[in-house]
A = this chain, B = another copy of it.
Amino acid sequence: MSLQQSPFARKLGAFVALSGEELSALDRLHSRRKTFPAGRDMVHEGQVNQSAYILASGWVCSYKLLSGGTRQIVDFQIPGDFLGLRSVLFRTADHNIEPVTKVEASEVLVEDLLATFGKTPRLGTAVLWAASRDEAMVVEHLVGIGRRDARERTAHFLLELGARLKLVGLGTALGYACPLSQYMLADALGLSAVHINRVLRELREDGLVTFQHGKVEIHDLDGLVLLADFDRHYLDHDGPLLK
C-alpha cells in the first residue's frame, strides 16, 4: 500500500487487492495527463475516435440532449472513474461529456489498456468489475426515475454519491463536498430545478440532509436510508472482494 494512491488505484483496490507491481502498472497509465476547463464539453454525441480517460480530479457529467431542448444527465463521474469506455468500444460517442468543474484526466489509449491487461490480468478483472458497477448504477438510476418520487429519488442520489466518494477517499458517511448546482441535480433526477429546490428544503426541514454552499451534510443517515430504500451493500464493502 503506497501512501498516496490515485483515486483510480484506490477504487480498484476495493475490488481486487493489488500488488506493488500492479500499482505501478496503473501509475504508468496515468502518463498522458490533460486538463479541461469547467463547462466546455469534452466530448460531443456523434464524435468518432474519442479517447478514453481516467478522471484524476474534478467532476464531469454524461448527458444526452433531447430535441425539445431538455437534457437528461445519465451519470456523474468523480475522481477514479473511467470515462467514455463505451464510446471507445463503439467507435462513436453516444452521449456528451461536460466537465462540472475544472478537470484533470489521463488519456488512455486502447492499446495501452489492453497491453496492461495482458501483463496484469487481475487489473483487467478489476476494471471489468468497476464497469459492471457503473452499469448497475445506471440501472438503479433508471429504477429511481421510473418508480421513486422526488424525495426518495433525491435521497437515494445523495446517498449513492456519498458512497462513491467515500470509496475514493473524498467523503465520509456524514458528508462530502459537492460542486453540483440544483439545475444539474434536476437534469440528473428528471425533475425541474424549482422542484429540486423545494425537495431539498423539505429534506433539510426534516433534519435528514442539508445541501448548501457546495457541501452535503447527512444528519440522519438511518432516516435517509429508510426514505430512499437504499441498499447499503451494493456499493459498500470493507476490504477487497478478491484477495
Q: How far, in Å, is A148 (CB) from chain B's closest CB? A: 7
In the complex, the answer to whether B89 meets A143 with C-beta atoms within 8 Å is no
A228 to chain B: closest residue by CB: B67
In the complex, the answer to whether A72 meets B147 with C-beta atoms within 8 Å is yes
In the complex, the answer to whether A89 meets B190 with C-beta atoms within 8 Å is no
Per-residue CB proximity of A55-89 to B under 8 Å, as 1/0? 00000000010111011101000000000001001
In the complex, the answer to whether A147 meets B94 with C-beta atoms within 8 Å is no
In the complex, the answer to whether B145 meets A146 with C-beta atoms within 8 Å is yes
- Among B90, B128, B147, B189, contact of A129 (Cβ-Cβ < 8 Å): B90
Given A95-B139, A141-B142, A142-B138, answer yes or no on A147-B90 (Cβ-Cβ < 8 Å). no
In the complex, the answer to whether A139 meets B89 with C-beta atoms within 8 Å is no
Given A89-B128, A90-B132, A132-B86, answer yes or no on A64-B145 (Cβ-Cβ < 8 Å). no
A173 interface contact, C-beta 8 A = no
- Among B64, B94, B145, contact of A190 (Cβ-Cβ < 8 Å): B145
A136 interface contact, C-beta 8 A = yes
Most chain B beta-carbon neighbours within 10 Å: one of A89, A135, A146, A147: A146
Given A94-B234, A229-B66, answer yes or no on A74-B139 (Cβ-Cβ < 8 Å). yes
**A128–B90 Cα gap in the complex (Å)?**
9
**A66–B229 Cα gap in the complex (Å)?**
8
Contacts of A229 in B (CB 8 A): 66-68
Known: A64-B143, A72-B147, A86-B136. 4 other contacts (CB 8 A): A64-B139, A67-B229, A89-B132, A90-B133
Q: List 17 A-B contacts (CB under 8 A).
A: A66-B147, A68-B229, A72-B143, A72-B146, A86-B135, A89-B132, A90-B129, A90-B136, A94-B136, A94-B139, A95-B139, A135-B138, A138-B142, A142-B142, A142-B145, A145-B145, A146-B190
